[in-house]
Amino acid sequence: MSWSPDGVRIAFSSDRDGNWEIYTMNADGSNQIRLTNNPREDTWPTWSPDAKKIAFGVSNRDTKLGIYVMNDDGSNQIRLTSNLSNNWQPAWSPNGKKIAFASDRDGNWEIYTMNADGSNQVCLTAYPSGDD
């Protein structure tokens, strides 16, 4: 679950329709809208600082867990990570230009960053034990 930066809306995941999907609602619980509709699970939504985008990071649409971003109305869903590893827990930078996330692409969980468009993915940690 994630509050919008202005505190007006909440993005959340639910399996109320038989599959985990991303929804938004007003802070008072009204106007609940389903944003994703995929036979695979979509979870872990997080708002961009300008509230125009939502990243979500536990989607197994392509077998492994990937990070996606979409407009706040659910349109234009784009996969940001394209490797064959698990990637999850996206977190926007305060200026909205980068997203931090966890990935197991190097054999164990490490912390990465990437530009908000998915480019320039960089590992920040490299320890024998996992980080996330």
Q: What does the domain layout of the chain look like in residue ranges?
A: 2-123
Mean pLDDT of 45-59: 92
| 118-124 long-range Cβ contacts below 8 angstroms, 24+ apart | 118/67, 118/69, 118/78, 118/79, 118/80, 118/81, 118/82, 121/81, 124/100
CB 63 within 8 A of CB 39: no
Higher pLDDT: 48 or 17? It is: 48
Give percent above pLDDT 90 in the chain: 77
pTM for the model stands at 0.91
Mean pLDDT taken over the chain: 92
Lowest mean pLDDT among 40-44, 49-53, 113-117: 40-44
| Beta strand ranges found along the chain (DSSP E) | 2-3, 9-14, 21-26, 33-34, 45-47, 53-62, 64-71, 78-79, 87-92, 98-103, 110-115, 122-123
Which class for 71: exposed (0-12), middle (13-18), buried (19 or more C-beta within 10 A)?
A: middle
Lowest mean pLDDT among 49-58, 62-71, 121-130: 121-130
The CATH number of the structural domain formed by 2-123 is: 2.120.10.30
Mean pLDDT of 102-130: 89
What does the DSSP 8-state code read for residue 8?
S
Residue 102 β-bridge partners = 88, 111
